[in-house]
Amino acid sequence: MTLDRDALFIGGTWAKPATDAVLEVVSPHSEEVVARVPEGSTADIDAAVAAARRAFDEGPWPRMRPAERIEIVQTLSGLYAARLEEMATIISTEMGSPISFSSLAQAPAPWMQIEAFLAIAREFPWEDRRAGSLGGDVVVRHEPVGVVAAIPPWNVPQFTILSKVIPALLTGCTVVVKPAPETPLDAYLLAELLVEAGVPESVVSIVAGGREVGEHLVRHPGVDKVAFTGSTAAGRKIGAICGEQLKRVSLELGGKSAAIILDDADEAAAIEGLKFLGVMNSGQACVAQTRVLVSRERHDAFAEALASAIGAMKVGDPLDPATEIGPMVAQRQQERVEKYIALGQEEGARLLTGGNGRPDGLDTGWYVRPTVFAGVDNRMRIAQEEIFGPVLSVIPYVDVADAVRIANDSEYGLAGTVWTADVEAGLEVARGVRTGTYGVNTYTMDFAAPFGGFKASGLGREFGPEGLAQYTEAKSVYLPLPEM
Ligand code: NAD
């Protein structure tokens, strides 16, 4: 089956692109071109925004009752659920995520989001009549924010598209999605499902392209809100543009999360947890627990055990079900990770496993070896900067207060975990760490609850009623006061 495409999804139909530019999707494993699709241009973005604007200003979608939109999104949910395997394979093919991770998270987590958002939308106070403070009633309405620009990254592409498209649809917004140039393919499957589900024409458009095309979309006067997931550097730029134009904006950005191992933690369980949470998606995960904080007394033994577990993980072809760590998405990402591995050694961190060099038995592909550094000082760049590869830093702490201090000594504040036999003690640690999400002996995102970053990890929240509300504007209608 070919994954090639020759059209863009603009205005809810398959449209001829404005230019002949092509995006070549290259397998990070074989380094061969696996698909060619049109590369969106600024003219395509203009057409998509014009369609979304018309659909918002004049079309049925924002004017439907929430229950009608819920029904269509419910249909979409069923259609999506029937295509999970296909979605997982497409994502692993385009960006190299191990199929074990795609089948567990990349494909099904977006479906779980849809279901969670549906449950929230059914209970959401779309129009709420409340007693005012002056004796009369006030009707508070949550109206759609307008035309949404949704900009996802390549690492969890479908996940970060649906985290924006679903709340936008449920609230009555219209959307232009700009997938990352590395991962345009999964969005084509979504486009087919949107048509099949009966989402009206022009409500969603999808135009994959690069940074300039993305920035054109952000600046476009027809856009009311930008929902972005990606790097902190791009987030700052986008936030600045939106600030100037007073556009609504939500930003899900980078992280450098700390896993705090308390002395009473079950070592085997913590290591098993970190084998997933530290290097999931080959380390290309914003919530990856890449700093591992261990008391001085247990540091060496824990670091050795962690290194032996991480070093034994199977690196290889993303489509092999046994693979635990796949290639980096692109050569420039491989080079970036290797630069950090070299930097860690220069900074004086102790390399326990991994290091630069091609993993055994792999002749092609942008692979790096899963790497663990021990004796890391939190001031080192490998502890401060987001590497976005399978590289962990084990950092010693003096006592629990010191561990919390180190966890907080970061420009980021996205996620974190604590590992302990005492859940209450873990909760106390969670209270002290300044991050948007936190896990005690686990880290499983729950889409009923808000997700997002403190500090340079972002602005605003996705998921939960808080996330849905970010696609609405509150309007207060004052009803007549009673006669005095
Ligand atoms: P990136 O910032 O380079 O690109 C993200 C998306 O934004 C892409 O579609 C890109 O084309 C577009 N883009 C880049 N610059 C832009 C600009 N100035 N204007 C408009 N669009 C622009 O990030 P990436 O390398 O694709 O993704 C990795 C980053 O994403 C990591 O930092 C990771 O932590 C972060 N991330 C965060 C979350 C979260 O929920 N907090 C989730 C996944 C990934």
How many Å from the N-terminal Cα to the C-terminal Cα in the chain? 74
- Give me 115's structure tokens: 């279901």
Q: How far is the CA of 146 from the centre of ligand 1 (A)?
A: 23
Strand runs labelled E in 327-457: 350-353, 371-374, 391-397, 412-413, 416-419, 439-440, 454-455
Grouping H, G, I as helix, E, B as strand and the rest as coil, residue 146 is coil
Q: Which atom of ligand 1 is nearest to the CA of 255?
A: 34
Q: Is residue 6 within 8 Å of 22, Cβ to Cβ?
A: no
Nearest to 5 by CA among 49, 39, 52: 39
Phi and psi for 432 in degrees, rounded to 5?
Answer: -90, -15
Q: Residues with Cβ < 8 Å from 71, sequence gap 6 or more?
A: none
Please name the residue whose Cα sits nearest to atom 43 of ligand 1: 286
Identity of the residue numbered 47: A
pLDDT recorded at residue 12? 87
The per-residue pLDDT for 484 is: 67
Residue among 207, 212, 231 to mutate when testing ligand 1 (max atoms within 8 A of CB): 231
Ligand 1 pocket test, pick from 155, 156, 182, 470 with the greatest ligand atom count within 8 Å of Cβ, gives 155
Hunting for tokens 């109206």 — which residue is that?
143
pLDDT in tens, 378-434: 999 999 999 999 999 999 999 999 999 999 999 999 999 999 999 999 999 999 999
pLDDT exceeds cutoff 70 at 374 = yes
Residues 6+ apart with CB under 8 A from 372: 303, 306, 307, 310, 311, 351, 352, 353, 354, 391, 392, 394
Q: Which residues line ligand 1 (CB under 6 A)?
A: 151-156, 160, 178, 180, 210-211, 214-215, 218, 229-231, 234, 237-238, 252-255, 286, 386, 388, 414, 453, 458
Distance CA 5, CA 40 (A): 12
- Of all protein residues, the one whose alpha carbon is nearest to atom 21 of ligand 1 is 214
Rounded to whole angstroms, how far apart are CA atoms 409 and 369? 27
Ligand 1 atom closest to the Cα of residue 217 is 20
Nearest residue (CA) to ligand 1, atom 12: 211
Whole-number Å distance between alpha carbons of 463 and 483 = 43
**252 tagged catalytic:** yes
C-alpha 312 to ligand 1 mean position (Å): 31
Instruction: Compute the mean pLDDT over every residue in the chain, rounded to the nearest whole number.
Output: 98
pLDDT digits (tens, 9 = 90+) for 435-475: 999 999 999 999 999 999 999 999 999 999 999 999 999 99
Tell me the CA–centroid distance for residue 154 and ligand 1, in Å: 8
List pLDDT tens digits, range 13-53. Answer: 999 999 999 999 999 999 999 999 999 999 999 999 999 99
**What is the spatial distance between Cα 263 and Cα 252, in angstroms, rounded to a whole number?**
33
The per-residue b/e assignment along 16-46, b for 16 or more CB within 10 angstroms, e otherwise, is: ebbeeeebebbbbbeeeebbbbbbbbbebbb
Share of the chain above pLDDT 70, in %: 100
Residue type for position 298: R
What confidence tier does 310 reach under pLDDT thresholds 50, 70, 90?
very high
Closest residue (by CA) to atom 17 of ligand 1? 215
**Angle at alpha carbon of residue 256, lines to 251 and 257, rounded to 5°:** 100
What atom of ligand 1 comes closest to residue 254's alpha carbon? Answer: 34
Catalytic residue among 94, 252, 324, 338: 252
Percent of the chain past pLDDT 90, that is, above it, reads 99
Residue closest by Cα to atom 23 of ligand 1: 230
Distance from the CA of 385 to the center of ligand 1, in angstroms? 15
Q: Which atom of ligand 1 is nearest to the CA of 163?
A: 40
Cα separation of 244 and 62, whole Å?
Answer: 27
* Rounded Cα–Cα distance for residues 291 and 372 (Å): 10
Please tell me the predicted confidence (pLDDT) of residue 69. 98
Name residue 442's amino acid.
Answer: T
Q: Whose CA is nearest to atom 6 of ligand 1?
A: 153
CB within 8 Å of 244: residues ≥ 6 apart = none
CA 387/CA 279 separation, integer angstroms: 11
Which atom of ligand 1 approaches the CA of 235 most closely? 2
Quote the CA–CA distance of 47 and 49 in Å, as a whole number: 6
Pairing, β 371-374 against β 33-38: unpaired
Asked if 299 contacts 78 with a C-beta cutoff of 8 angstroms, the reply is: no
Residue 14 in contact with residue 6, Cβ under 8 Å?
no
Distance 232 CA to ligand 1 centre (A): 8
Write the residue with the smallest CA distance to atom 36 of ligand 1.
Answer: 230
CA of 329 to the centre of ligand 1 (A): 13
User: Beta 391-397 vs 289-295: how paired, if at all?
Assistant: parallel
Q: Are 109 and 124 in contact (CB under 8 A)?
A: no
Mutate to test the pocket of ligand 1, among 39, 95, 215, 253 (most ligand atoms within 8 A of CB): 253
The atom number, within ligand 1, closest to the CA of 286 reads 34
Residue 335: pLDDT band with limits 50, 70, 90: very high
- Ligand 1 centre to CA of 255 (Å) is 12
| Residue 239 and residue 170 in contact, taking contact as beta carbons nearer than 8 Å | no
Please give the distance, rounded to the nearest whole angstrom, from the Cα atom of residue 115 to the centre of ligand 1: 25
CA pair distance 158, 103, nearest whole angstrom: 13
Separation in Å, CA 285 to CA 155, 161, 328, 420, 478: 7, 15, 11, 24, 46
pLDDT at 483 over 90: no
Could you say which DSSP state residue 195 is in?
H
Name the pTM for this structure: 0.98
